A and B are shown apart, each in its own frame.
Chain A
Amino acid sequence: MTEAPTPLWEVFVRSRNGLAHKHAGSVHAADAQMALQAARDVYTRRGEGLSVWVVPSNAITASDPADREMLFEPTGSKIYRHPTFYEVPDEVGHM
């Protein structure tokens, strides 16, 4: 008998309040509630988190690595987007 595959979930853990949830890994589980339970058991055995999110892996749309240059290269030349591009007279001090 071939068993049906158990869905894959991505796990995000907030390590403490004030920080964003961060990707920790993934788990297999039949439903969201079981995924949450498994994520808690697998990724927070030593006080690593205060909050856990689980997201069905197939709900994530990722950029294609082949598009990396097209997507991210153009900002490389736009140095005027950084504060250091602009000159402020020394006498004005820190700005």
Chain B
Amino acid sequence: MYTQALNTKETVTAAEDPAREARFQARIDAEDRIEPNDWMPEAYRRTLVRQISQHAHSEIIGMQPEGNWITRAPSLRRKAALLAKVQDEGGHGLYLYAAAETLGVSREEVTDQLLSGRAKYSSIFNYPTLTWADIGTIGWLVDGAAIMNQIPLCRCSYGPYARAMIRICREESFHQRQGYEIMVTLANGTPEQKEMAQDALNRWWWPSLMMFGPPDTASQHSDKSMQWKIKRFSNDELRQKFIDATVPQARHIGLTMPDPDMRFNEATGHWEHGPIDWEEFKRVIAGGGPCNRQRLTHRNKVHAEGAWVREAALAFAEKERARTQQKAA
């Protein structure tokens, strides 16, 4: 609905207008939603473009670790579910790219930022899926963490992003439940299967906690994002919610969190975790995770191999258009 021509960026003079910025903030404070062609500060636009496009990249790159197991799923039921899940991730990427495009960036621009390695995506997808239990763990923990992050985004001040998130959250619930079902089955299976489930949990637990981002004391973007109501809860608040929700689920199926310091605080009613290795997080974000190169190489390869298809489709559309015009003449 958002004509691209109207999405041209505001001039610098307009963005520096304090009166306009005050009116903008007043709208945000009144829980009014900002729509694509409304005036907005340049920094708000930049923050959203970065946030939404990186969110989209995460969905697209996230198809790789899970796609890895489609052909090796242990039953037709599991295979159909995993196929549908990976297809959903692709769909989520597309909803989000469309939301980012309403802010005046083109699909080609954001795609190029991903392919050239200039844009980031969620650190979690740079870890490998070594066994079938990893597929269960990703659904349970990674999608579980994503839901914690995404539910408040359904009330984000930017309308198109909030609307995309509502669709996504509705679909993520299936992802988490199918993942947990895989874990329940493995945990109730043979000792080897239970061990496989525990091993996957051991490898994915800490990277899942890192998905919420750096601790509140070290986050660069949070303050302004909170003021603009793009974000509604801090990284640490969301991380705590996730831990409190997940620990009982693990205990229910007899799995143990790989954290010797984990304990329940009777006074606060929260599960407390041991120190998170933020050096590992920085290393993975900066490109030094186990699969960073593989993920990006694969994405580039697939994009290049699809170039002739895009070109042929456009050439065919052009030919059809010319043919229709000729007939009309």
Contacts and interface: CB of A to CB of B under 8 A. Distances in A.
Interface residues of B, number: 33
Nearest to B174: A46
Q: Which of the four size classes fits the interface of chain A? A: 20 to 34
A47 to B, nearest CB: 13
Contact of A62 (B3, B95, B317): B3
A3 B307 contact: yes
B318 to A, nearest CB: 9
Contacts of A27: 94, 98
Nearest to B320: A31
Interface stretch (B34-42, B44-52, B56-64): B34-42
Given A5-B106, A8-B107, A58-B4, 19 more contacts: A3-B307, A3-B311, A4-B314, A5-B108, A6-B310, A10-B1, A25-B95, A26-B98, A30-B316, A34-B313, A45-B84, A45-B87, A58-B3, A60-B1, A62-B2, A64-B6, A65-B35, A65-B37, A66-B39
B218 interface: no
Nearest to A12: B1
Nearest to A4: B314
Interface string A43-82: 0011000000000011011101110000000000000000
Nearest to A10: B1
B3 A61 contact: yes
B5 interface: yes
Contacts of A31: 313, 316-317, 320
Contacts of A5: 106-108
Nearest to B311: A3
Interface of A: 3-6, 8, 10, 23, 25-31, 34, 41-42, 45-46, 57-58, 60-62, 64-66
Contacts of B1: 10, 23, 57, 60, 62
10 smallest CB-CB distances across A and B, nearest first, come from A30-B313, A31-B317, A30-B317, A26-B98, A30-B314, A65-B38, A65-B37, A42-B91, A25-B98, A42-B94
